[in-house]
Amino acid sequence: MLFTSLTFLFAYLPIVLVGYFVLGRFHRVAAAGWLAAASVFFYGYWSVKYVPLLLGSILFNYGIGYAISVRRDRSPWARRALIFGVIADLGLLAYYKYANFFLLQVINPLGGHAQALNIILPIGISFFTFTQIAFLVDVWKGKAREFNFVRYLLFVTWFPHLIAGPVLHHGQMMPQFADAKIYRIRSRNLVIGMVLFAIGLAKKLLIADPISAYADPVFEAAAAGDAIGALMAWTGALAYTFQIYFDFSGYSDMAVGLSMLFGVRLPINFNSPYKATNIIEFWRRWHMTLSQFLRDYLYIPLGGNQHGQARRYFNLLATMVLGGLWHGAAWTFVIWGAIHGALLCVNHGFRWAWMRLGIAGRTPRCIATAAGVAVTFLSVVVAWVYFRADTVAAANSVLLSMVSSTDSVEWTTVFRDKSAMSFAGYASLSFLIVWVFPNAYEAIDFVENRMTVGGEEGRRVGVMLTVGAATITVGLIAASLLSTFGTNVASPFLYFQF
C-alpha cells in the first residue's frame, strides 16, 4: 500500500486515525495495540507471506534484548547474547539481500558453479533489521530499559517508517508511546502533519515521478550499449539526481507528517543536502538517521579518528563501502560507497591541510560557499550515476558520454516524445526548490514563530497563515492526485528497493 494510493489516503489512513483517537480516550494500551496491528496489516498488504518473518524477527530481538537487560550484571554472558543477536540479524539480512550476489559474483569468478537462488527481498528488511540491531546495542549500553511488548511491536512496525525509514532508536520512540498526551487530538499536530504530508506528496508526484522520464531512458540506453551523447548523458544524470532527491525527500516529509497526525515525532531524515558546502556536510543532511547509525555502530567501533589519520581514512572508506553495499547487492553500489568514502577522506585531508597552512578564513565567504556547493553537487551527481546504473559498464558509458566533446545523438532518439523544454522546466523548478526556497521544516518554523506574536496582530497573522496553509495543503493534494488520475500506475518510492 503506497502513501500515494487512493486506498491509503481515503480508507486506511482515516480508519486507523479515527480508531486510534477513539480508543485513546478510553485505554492507551488498546490504542497502541490498534496502531501496532494496523502497522502489521500495512506491511502485510505488500506481501502476507513475509509477515511471519517480520514478527519472528521482532520476537527474537525482543527476547534477546530482554535477556541482555536481565543479565546486564554478567557482562560476558550479556556480551555473548548481544553478539549472537547481531550476528543472527545480519545473517538474516545477508541471506535475503546478498546470497545471490555472493554466489554469482564471488563463487563463480573463483571457479565455482553456483546457481542463483530464488530469493525475493522482503520489503523493509534493511530498516527493521537496523532498527533492532540499534535496540540490542542500546540495551547493552543501558540506554534502553523499557520492555513493554505492545509498545516494542509498535516501535518496530510503526507504518510511517517501516518500509523506507528513518532508522529509529528505542529511546526516541518508546517514551512517546508511553506519554498520555499523544492519545489526544491536537489541532497543531493535525495541521503540521497535513502540511508536511501534502508537501511530500507533491514532491513525489509532481516532480520526482515526471522527471524520472528523463533519467530512465538514458540509463536503459547505456545498459543496452547504445550511444547517448553528452547532452543526453547530462540530462539523464541530472534528472536522476533530482528524482532521487525529491523522491526520498517526499517520502521523508510524508513519513514525518503522517506520524505527526498521531502525535508521534519522527526524527528528521532529510535536510536540504544539496545545499551542503562539502561532502561531510552532505552526509549530515542526507538520510541523516542512516548516517548516524553508520557513524555510531560502525565507524566509531572501528576506531573512528582515535588512531591516527591513516586509520581514520581506512575507517571512513570501509564504513562508506559497507554503507553502499547496504543499499544493494551490486558492484555499482560498492563503487558508489567507495566514491563517497574517498570524497570524505579528501574532505577531511583538505580541512587538515587548510588549517595547518593557515589559509582558513582568507577566501571571501560567499566565494568559498558557492564553490563548495558547486563542487559538492558535481561530485554527488557523478556518484549517483553508479548508484542508478544497472551495471558498472553502463555507468562508465554515461560518465564517458558526459565528458565527450561531440554530441551527434538526436534528442528524440533517446527521449522520443519528451521535449527538451519540458525537462528544462522541471530542472529549473528543481533548482529553485533545492537552492532558493526554504525546506518544509524551515517554513513551518517560520510560520510558528510568526504565530507567537501576541495581541490582535498575532491573532490576525495566525488566521492568515492558517488559511494560507490550508489552501496550500488542499491545492497540493488536489494537484498531486489529479496528476495521476486515470493512469493506474503504481509509484513506489525509490528507497523501497533498499
CA atoms of 90 and 94, how far apart (whole Å): 6
Helical residues (DSSP H) of 328-435, grouped into ranges: 331-356, 365-388, 392-402, 411-415, 420-435
Task: Annotate 471-488 with DSSP letters as a single string.
Answer: HHHHHHHHHHHHHHTTT-
Q: Which residues contact 445 (CB under 8 A, 6 or more apart)?
A: none
Residue 329 DSSP symbol: S
**Catalytic site residues?**
327
CA atoms of 95 and 106, how far apart (whole Å): 15
Looking at residue 422, its amino acid is S
Within 10 Å of residue 310's Cβ, how many Cβ atoms? 8
Q: Are residues 40 and 157 in contact, defined by beta-carbon separation less than 8 angstroms?
A: yes
C-alpha angle 491/439/195, rounded to 5°?
Answer: 65
Task: Annotate 371-395 with DSSP letters as a single string.
Answer: HHHHHHHHHHHHHHHHHH-SSHHHH
Burial degree of 225 (CB within 10 A; 0-12, 13-18, 19+):
exposed
Within 10 Å of residue 113's Cβ, how many Cβ atoms? 7
